[in-house]
Structure 1
Amino acid sequence: MSEKMPTFDSLMNPLLRALIALGGSGSIDEIYEKVLEQENIGDDVSSILHNPEKSNQTEVGYRLAWARTYLKKYGFLENSSRGIWALTKLAKQQEQVDPQTVVKDVRGVDKAAPRENTRNRKNHQIELIESDVPEPQCWQEQLHHLLTREISAGAFERLAQRLLRESGFVQVEVTGRTGDGGIDGKGIAKIHGFMSFHVIFQCKKYHGSVSAGDIRDFRGAMVGRADKGLFITTGTFTSSAVKEATRDGAPPIDLVDGEQLAEKLKELQLGLKTEMIEKVSIDKEWFANL
């Protein structure tokens, strides 16, 4: 029997329970994985992408983002500039909410505030509608399109090679031999100049989600040939793939999905440039105190 995609409001209390289980705070990825685990959301639902043509964000992840937004406006969540979300004092006292009340109150406040773009709402139903969708993160969407549509598989392998070199790996080679179990290259990770690990990596240009079977196949190809495995994709990983990658007793495989890849390229300024815009504000109170 196939699972039903949860609505964003039905994810509010699971989100709060996930943060409680995580000790009151967590990253977006930690919250996402904990919600999937606690709510038993399977791969057939968690692997569905919100907009495959533009990004690798899953539909569950998209709806959780809106659950976070509503709960923040309701006073139950706060987040830092480092992307860590935490329960507020109010959330720790109550631990759960009535989703209908949250939606009604938050939308009531939003309606009272001036809005530049107002669109029709459907009978005040509790549902995620286009008028709630924020401006897209253009650079991530453009990068996702470029990596999945415009560059070749060989170019993507060379990008992974450059990424590893810039991250401190040495002796990075792209092999890309067909029939080699999906192994695209190898390298050595140097740790503080004293320790080193032989790493085999696989690159997959993907719109969808990498499955647990893909991870098992990759591990089978790397056994006896490296200390660790690294799987890089423009897509996402199913929850079972994440569990398989860290399964006890099996050679560990580190996973890099499309979102992490984009952030790493941005950090290392590989094909991406960050422009800082200076904003000057006047403190009238300071001048008044002269």
Structure 2
Amino acid sequence: MPTRKKGQTEFVQWMGPLLDCLRALGGSAKPKEVSSWIARKLGLPPEITEATIKSGANRFHNQVQWARQYLVWEGLLDDSKRGVWTLSPLGWKTQINDGLARTIFLERVKVGRSMRDQSLPKASTQEVADTVPPDEVQELSLLGVLRELPPYGFELICGRLLREHGFEDVEVTQRSRDGGIDGYGLLRLSPFVSLRVAFQAKRYKDVVSRSAVGEFRNALLGRAEKGVFITTGRFTADAAAEATRGGVVPIELIDGEELVELFQSAGIGVKPKTVYEIDHAFFDEFRRQVA
């Protein structure tokens, strides 16, 4: 099992497993699917998978995102589709061990640090692993805005989000303190079938525990056929297990990362912006040309 190496950037150890994961999953996957796969495959303990960084984000997932960023720069991942990590043709056939991962990191720092100074602060390699990957800055900014909303404002905007994603008859009930349920909505599955869904919206920075999910389910009994728990934080593994436990009312879990994706896909609270990222791989051939 990988261990923390003091004085070295830790994310390099996830480059090989990240490629292995995408090959195992058919060439593409959602970011959290990748992190979860690596954690299960390597049997990583909670002290690695549950640790956080200063922003409150999950440290392990942050490092996997950094590994992904370097693999994109190396041309091993296709960066054309947002929210999905996809192998490039070169990535399909490339195997990365610890030595190659370290070489990729050092070479990329050597040729690209001056071009990336606007995104990566000058720091030790260990400090780099505790910063935010360039393509995650917007997500964290949106999460910051959502976390600063008052509780009722956050519940109202979650109700708006549900409407934008197909829910009908959405009602926010926080002010009536309906047993821990913040609102209801009707989800039509077909002209003949619909579900009454209750939601809970919490502006957490840290983790949502199993007990919180269990308490929400208890509030659902006799009131809704399905629950949606929305948070700006993240859920523990035990909370995820509780949400999918058989024989009880099912609960969908929407964490901060998924919440941002839902806002972006619905186009609410965000404006489209064209950003050009430097293609370092394109310039590599020219850097090797010496007169």
TM-score scaled by length of structure 1: 0.77
Matched, 1:146 2:150: no
Unmatched 5+ residue regions in structure 2? 277-291
CA contact (8 A) 1:120 1:131 kept: no
Which residues in structure 2 correspond to 1:8-87 (within 5 Å)?
A: 8-52=11-55, 57-74=57-74, 76-87=76-87
**Displacement of 1:73:** 4.1
CA contact (8 A) 2:65 2:133 kept: no
Computed over aligned residues only, the root mean square deviation of the Cα atoms, in angstroms, reads 3.3
Judged with a 3 Å threshold, the aligned counterparts in structure 2 of structure 1 residues 175 and 90 are, in CA distance, closer, same or farther, namely: same
Partner of 2:285: none
Judged with a 3 Å threshold, the aligned counterparts in structure 2 of structure 1 residues 121 and 232 are, in CA distance, closer, same or farther, namely: closer
Which residues in structure 2 correspond to 1:211-230 (within 5 Å)?
A: 211-230=209-228
Partner of 2:233: 235
For residues 131 and 255 of structure 2, the distance between their equivalents in structure 1, rounded to whole angstroms, comes to: 26
- Deviation track 1:142-177 (CA, whole Å, cap 9, x = no partner) reads 32222212x211111111122222222222222225
Partner of 2:208: 210
Matched, 1:264 2:262: yes
**Displacement of 1:137:** 4.7
**Displacement of 1:199:** 0.5
Partner of 1:168: 166
Judged with a 3 Å threshold, the aligned counterparts in structure 2 of structure 1 residues 136 and 101 are, in CA distance, closer, same or farther, namely: closer
Report the residue type matching 2:18 in the other structure. L
For residues 59 and 4 of structure 1, the distance between their equivalents in structure 2, rounded to whole angstroms, comes to: 14
**May I ask how many residue pairs the two structures share in their alignment?**
267
- Deviation track 1:111-164 (CA, whole Å, cap 9, x = no partner) reads 245824397675xx7x46279865475543332222212x21111111112222
CA contact (8 A) 2:162 2:170 kept: yes
Report the residue type matching 1:69 in the other structure. Q
TM-score scaled by length of structure 2: 0.76
Report the residue type matching 1:197 in the other structure. L
- Deviation track 1:27-68 (CA, whole Å, cap 9, x = no partner) reads 21211221222233344543333333xxx5311111001222
For residues 83 and 145 of structure 1, the distance between their equivalents in structure 2, rounded to whole angstroms, comes to: 19
* Aligned-partner SS, 1:201: strand
- Deviation track 1:225-265 (CA, whole Å, cap 9, x = no partner) reads 21111000011122332232223333221111112222322
Partner of 2:106: 107
Judged with a 3 Å threshold, the aligned counterparts in structure 2 of structure 1 residues 133 and 227 are, in CA distance, closer, same or farther, namely: closer
- Deviation track 1:53-107 (CA, whole Å, cap 9, x = no partner) reads xxx531111100122233344454434424332345555546x422232222442
Whichever of the two has the greater Rg, that structure is 1
* Aligned-partner SS, 1:188: strand
* Aligned-partner SS, 1:108: helix
CA contact (8 A) 2:32 2:61 kept: no
Aligned equivalent of 1:247, options 245, 248, 258: 245
* Aligned-partner SS, 1:231: strand
For residues 216 and 238 of structure 1, the distance between their equivalents in structure 2, rounded to whole angstroms, comes to: 13
For residues 69 and 44 of structure 1, the distance between their equivalents in structure 2, rounded to whole angstroms, comes to: 24
For residues 78 and 236 of structure 1, the distance between their equivalents in structure 2, rounded to whole angstroms, comes to: 27
CA contact (8 A) 1:183 1:221 kept: yes
**Displacement of 1:222:** 1.3
Q: Which runs of 4+ in 1 moved over 6 A?
A: 3-6, 118-121
Judged with a 3 Å threshold, the aligned counterparts in structure 2 of structure 1 residues 249 and 4 are, in CA distance, closer, same or farther, namely: farther
For residues 21 and 260 of structure 2, the distance between their equivalents in structure 1, rounded to whole angstroms, comes to: 26
* Aligned-partner SS, 1:274: coil
* Aligned-partner SS, 1:194: coil
CA contact (8 A) 1:68 1:77 kept: yes
For residues 141 and 93 of structure 2, the distance between their equivalents in structure 1, rounded to whole angstroms, comes to: 42
Q: Percent identity between the aligned chains?
A: 33
